[in-house]
Structure 1
C-alpha cells in the first residue's frame, strides 16, 4: 500500500502565520509548508517587522497584537493570493505606511470587494494603478471595528481576511456576507481562530467577531488536501492504491471531500482517524458534481474525466476563472490538445469519455498555474507523451511534486 507523505497545507500555513503574528506571545508552527507562496508570506511578515525563527520542521513567530513593528515597509507578495489579501488587512491594524505589490499574475487577480470593505471600516487604502488591484498603499491608524457588508462570491479569502482582522479591532466586527464561495475554507479559518483563543459566532449571513486579540500557541499544520487530490486521483485512474497519512476524519480542509467524488465514480475510499486511502477498482463512472466548495480540485477531476465511462460535468465553478489563470478554460484547452471532447459555459465544464487510443500526448500549457501542471501529471499516467511548458511552476505550493509523483508512479507500476 503506497503511502505518500505530503507537505503541509498552504491554506493552513498562511492562516497560521497571520494568527501567530497577531497573537500575544511566541507561536510555534509545526510542519508548515515550505513553498514559494508561504516563503513569500513569511518574507512579508519580516518586512513588516515581525520576528520569525526557523528550524527544518518548524517556524517560531514572535507575535505583536499591536500590529507591525515597522513604521514603513514595502512588501512584495509574489504570486501569493493569501499574502496579497491577508497582509494588507494585518497591516491595517497597526500604525504606519505600508505599500504592497505583487507579480503580474497576482496583479490581475481581483481585490476590490476586500479593499472596499476595509475602506468602509475607515482604513486609508489607495490602489496605486488599477482600482481593485495591486499595487496598493495602506496608511494604517488601527481599526475601530463595527458593521461591514462583503461580497465574497469571487473568493472566500476576502471574508477570511476580515475574520482574521476582527479580534485586532477595538470593538470587533459584524460582517454580513451577500454571497460566499468555498465555504469550507471559511470553516478552516474559524476553527483555527478558535485554536488561537477567539470564537466567531454566526447569525445567518452575519459573522460576529469579538475584539480582544489572540493568544500564542503551538500549532501543527496538517498535510495539504488539495495536493492530496492528485495522488488520490492517480490511484483511481490506475487501479492502484494510495494512502495519505495525516488526513482523516478530523481534517480541517474541505478539499478532502474530493475523495467522495472519486467514491461516486467507483473508487473505494476509506477515511480513517488519521489517514485516507483510495483504491481504484478499474471502474470510473461519469458524474455530475457541484464543486463550488472544493473548486481547487476541479482541475484534478477535469484531467481524469476522459477516462470515465460516461460524461463528467462539473458545475458552479465560475470562481475558477479568477484564480492563477482561468482554470476552467485552461483545462478545456489542454484537454482538447490531448484529443478529448469538451464543452464549457460561464460556470461549468463537461468532458465526454474518450477511447484511450484516441488520446495523444502533447505539451500542456500551464499558464503559470501549479494546479494545471499537477492535475495533468495525473492524466500522464494514462496518456504517454505529456510534457509541460513550465513544470517548475509547482514550486508555488509543492517544490518536490515531480519527484514525489514520479516515485508514486514507479510504485504503482511495480504493483
Structure 2
C-alpha cells in the first residue's frame, strides 16, 4: 500500500505567526539516559514527546529504569525517572532513531544479561560498526555489526579509538554511559573530521552539569572519569532545528515568524539558523519574546559548510531551490548515512519538480529553476517531509508523501503548519 499524500498548503499571504516549539530531541534523548544512570531519582521537564523520544523512554524502561509521566500533552511530557538495576533479557526497538541505536547499547552493556536490538528496515543500513567494535574493546560481548545485534556486559571501560566520521552520536553514546564504567572511558577519534561537533559539546556540557568529570582539552579525545551521575531536575530547551521550516516560511512569504523561548546561549546546532538565514536574506533578531525572523519574499543563494549542522540541510536545500541565485551546501557527505541518503533524496525530489540539484562529493549544488507541482517523497524521513512542505508554500500542487513521518520529532507538524498559515499570533 502506498503512503498517503498530504496536499502542501500554498501560502496566499505573508505569514505572521508565533510558533511555540516542543522540546529538543537531542537534549531529551541525552537527559533521559543520564537520569536513568543517575545515583537517585530525578526529573526531566518539557521533554519531547515524539516517536524517537518515546522509543528512548521505552528502551530505558525495558532495561529497568522507572519512567513516570505527568503534565502530558501531544508533544511534551514531564518525566520522573527512578534509576533501577539494569537488567538483561530486554528487546530494544530503535525504530529509525540514531540516538536510541547509539546511546542505549553502552547502557545495555551495564545490564546483567544479554540485550537484543533491532529497528525499522531502513535503520539496518545505518553506521553502527564503530560503536559496536568500541564496546567489544571495552569488554562487552557484541554479536552483529549493524541492526539487529546483541550486547552483553560486563563492560570494564578504558581507552578506545574509533572512526566517528559517520556520526557524532558514535562518540556521544560512549561518553553518556562512560562514568558508570569501572575504568571510565577515553574515546579517541581517528579519521576524517567528526560531523555535528556541537552535539558532542552538548553531551560534554550535560555530563558536567550532572557532576561528571570530562576532559576534552586534547583534540579528538574525550576522557570521562568513573563516578556517580548526579540526579537533577532538568528542563529541556525548545528544539531549535525544528524551527527551520517555520522560519523558512517567513522568508518565502515575506512575513514574520516568532519562536518563543529561544535561548541566548545554547549548545544546540540549530542556533546557527540565525546566521545562515540572515545570509540568505532574512532579518533575524533575538528579542524578549523570542527569535523573530522577517523575510522579504526573496531568498538569496548561499555557499555554506554545514558539517556541524547537517540536520538543517533539507530546509536549506528547499530554500535554495526557491532562491534567486545558485547555492553550494558543503561538508555533509555524512548525510548519506542518515534516515535515508538525504543528499540523493533531496537531489531526486528537487529535480523531479523541475529543479536543478546535483550531488557533489560532500554536498549539493543547487541552481534555481521554475518548479512545478508533483509528489515530494519523504523516504520515511521527517526532515524530507518538512522540506516538501516548505517548497509547497511557493509551488502549487505539491503533495508530500506520508507527512506523518514528521512525528519522529514534531508530532503535531501538520497542525502547527496550518496554524502558522492561519496567522496564529
Q: Does the alignment reach a TM-score above 0.5?
A: yes
Contact residue 248 and residue 274 of structure 1 kept, 8 A = no
Q: State the Cα distance separating 1:274 from its structure 2 match.
A: 7.1
TM superposition score normalised by structure 1 = 0.94
Work out the CA distance in 1 between the residues paired with 2:256 and 2:213.
39
Match of 1:62 among 72, 79, 82: 82
The alignment's C-alpha RMSD in Å is 1.5
Structure 2 residue aligned with 1:377 = 389
Match of 2:150 among 108, 117, 137: 137
Match of 1:165 among 170, 177, 180: 177
Structure 1 residue aligned with 2:235 = 220
Looking at secondary structure, tell me which structure has more helix per residue: 1
**SS where residue 256 of structure 1 aligns?**
helix
* Equivalent residue runs for 1:202-351 within 5 Å: 202=216, 203-272=218-287, 275-351=290-366
Structure 2 residue aligned with 1:33 = 48
Match of 2:371 among 359, 367, 372: 359
Match of 1:394 among 391, 406, 414: 406
Work out the CA distance in 2 between the residues paired with 1:161 and 1:145.
13
Distance 1:333 1:71, change over 3 A: closer
Distance 1:338 1:8, change over 3 A: same
Contact residue 381 and residue 409 of structure 1 kept, 8 A = no
Aligned: 1:196 with 2:216: no
Work out the CA distance in 1 between the residues paired with 2:297 and 2:404.
32
Cα deviations across residues 33-67 of structure 1 (Å, max 9, x unaligned)?
A: 10111111111111112111001140111124xx5
Structure 1 residue aligned with 2:98 = 81
Q: State the Cα distance separating 1:110 from its structure 2 match.
A: 1.4
Contact residue 385 and residue 401 of structure 2 kept, 8 A = no
Work out the CA distance in 2 between the residues paired with 1:169 and 1:267.
47
Work out the CA distance in 1 between the residues paired with 2:219 and 2:101.
28
Higher RCO (Cα < 8 Å, 6 or more apart):
2
Q: State the Cα distance separating 1:146 from its structure 2 match.
A: 1.4
Q: State the Cα distance separating 1:272 from its structure 2 match.
A: 4.2
Structure 1 residue aligned with 2:111 = 94
Q: State the Cα distance separating 1:307 from its structure 2 match.
A: 2.1
Work out the CA distance in 2 between the residues paired with 1:352 and 1:145.
49
Contact residue 139 and residue 153 of structure 2 kept, 8 A = no
Work out the CA distance in 2 between the residues paired with 1:379 and 1:409.
14
Which runs of 5 or more structure 1 residues have no equivalent in the other structure? none
Contact residue 47 and residue 73 of structure 1 kept, 8 A = yes
**SS where residue 43 of structure 1 aligns?**
helix
Cα deviations across residues 335-377 of structure 1 (Å, max 9, x unaligned)?
A: 11221112212212111122xxx31111111111111001121
Distance 1:240 1:326, change over 3 A: same
Contact residue 37 and residue 396 of structure 1 kept, 8 A = yes
Cα deviations across residues 314-337 of structure 1 (Å, max 9, x unaligned)?
A: 011101111000111111111112
Work out the CA distance in 1 between the residues paired with 2:298 and 2:97.
38
Work out the CA distance in 1 between the residues paired with 2:54 and 2:289.
27
Match of 2:120 among 72, 80, 103: 103
Work out the CA distance in 2 between the residues paired with 1:91 and 1:344.
38
Distance 1:206 1:273, change over 3 A: farther
**SS where residue 263 of structure 1 aligns?**
helix
Cα deviations across residues 284-326 of structure 1 (Å, max 9, x unaligned)?
A: 2221000010000000000111221210110111011110001
Work out the CA distance in 2 between the residues paired with 1:311 and 1:157.
32
**SS where residue 289 of structure 1 aligns?**
strand
Cα deviations across residues 254-275 of structure 1 (Å, max 9, x unaligned)?
A: 1220221110111101134772
**SS where residue 344 of structure 1 aligns?**
strand
Aligned: 1:187 with 2:201: yes
Work out the CA distance in 1 between the residues paired with 2:117 and 2:358.
39
